[in-house]
Chain A
Amino acid sequence: MAKIKKIKGSTSLNITSMMDMFTIILLFLLKSFSADGSMLTNADDLALPNSVSNKRPEEVSLQLAVTSDSILIDNATVESTMKLSETVQDKFDVDTLSLLDAQLKKHMRAEEEMVKRGILNEVKGEIVVQVDKNINFDILYKIMRLCGRNGYVNMKFAVMMREQ
């Protein structure tokens, strides 16, 4: 009789250790949680360079990403990187880059429109540029030049923070 009763009493699962574990995980995650979150999304084939910079990314309206095969504005492909590198410097201004150029112009116009309507105070011309670390300087230069021509003069290069 007594034996059966004992078995009945031990039906509940002992979850104390699991609760301990959960509490630790929860505390760790809460600690690493940042309220502002990540402003930048990172593409798979985009390896950002490491840097000692500790400036946190601010909220910016426009994102430009340059991977080894395509150039993306706000996560939509606009141009292939190959095409940009093939572009001859002297002919650069003409129309080979019409797609990227047109997109930048469009976004700049949108920003100006917002200033006119009083949604923004001023045209800041800020752009976050995420460039793959294996991109050569030639492409970077052309991108910077295009951004500059379209009024995006405050460029922010996204980098990976080196761990301390």
Chain B
Amino acid sequence: MANKIRRSKAEMKELDLTSFMNLMVVLIPVLLASAEFAKIATVDVSLPQGPRGSQTTSTQTQKPEEEPNKLVLTVLLSDSAMTIGAKSNFLPSIFYKEYHKYVSKETGTVLPMEEYFPEKLDPKTMKYSALPIDPKSGKAFTPQDREEIYLYAMEDDFKAVKKGYYSIQFSELLTDENGAPLKSIKPGDVVYALTTRMSPVSEADADKTEDEEVVTRRKITIQNPADFEQRDLSAYDLMKSMLVQVRDRYPDAEDRNDLIIAAEDQMVYDKIVQLMDVGRTANLKNISIAKLRM
């Protein structure tokens, strides 16, 4: 009896997993190598088509002649202010202060908010002389360690940072009907929230094609003021609010989807990309880039 049972146990063979293991060993490295961990996207910029090889280029834009039905929306970017121009008039400038977030590639130290002093940048060599020191290694951060650039809108006297109310859940800036940031909120107020990519409407917008308009702001009624908090006002958000306002004011303009970004020579490319993002989320899809002559 005992003998029989033992034999049947011995006959129960284990599954041979060797070939499956071989497959795994091959498949996992292949998939790992092809996996994309950082996703790359593109931002399209079209230059006007001119005769090839000629001296005329897109970037050498002359001041467009005044046409009644053209908006010629322009954002001028310099190292401490952004100005919107439309219909050859200028809106009040947004003065801003710049803060950088540094993440060291060597030690991993993170400095979340370092003030940036534009006057310490040598315009000739493009060397910034006030780079912060990494407390771990004792060495200064390199410009490559700069992870993010934040711009905060300043009061006109350039002494204090402007404040605005943001929704905690979606980071949406609250503005009044005219696009100005709110100074105070109370329950029952009907306000406009400037959409961000966290906004509930953005999911529907994500499926939209290039030509369709996205929702730039939504009307909400404040129920609980605790859902909102006062933060330093981002100059990009203020810019978006102003652009949305100007664009809405001229629904018939031929070029109401166009935006010209004109920057000074020493402006960092990162800021221009951020401005292009602001433009695109404000439905200004055709972005051209110009140079600000000094």
Contact = CB atoms under 8 A, between A and B. Distances in A.
B42 A137 contact: no
Contacts, number: 179
B47 A157 contact: no
Interface of B: 6, 9-10, 14, 17, 20-21, 24, 27-28, 31-32, 34-50, 52-55, 57-60, 126, 143-144, 146, 148, 197-198, 206, 263-270, 272-274, 276-277, 280-281, 289, 291
A147 interface: yes
- The 6 A-B residue pairs whose C-beta atoms are closest, nearest first, are A29-B31, A133-B270, A138-B265, A156-B42, A161-B39, A49-B273
Contacts of B264: 137
Given A49-B274, A140-B269, A148-B50, A160 B40 contact: yes
A134 B277 contact: no
Contacts of A141: 59, 265, 289, 291
Nearest to B289: A144
Contacts of A15: 17, 21
Contacts of B274: 49, 51
A125 to B, nearest CB: 8
B40 A42 contact: yes
B46 A154 contact: yes
B36 A38 contact: yes
Contacts of A149: 52-54, 57
A12 B14 contact: yes
Contacts of B206: 54
A80 interface: no
Nearest to B125: A85
A135 interface: yes
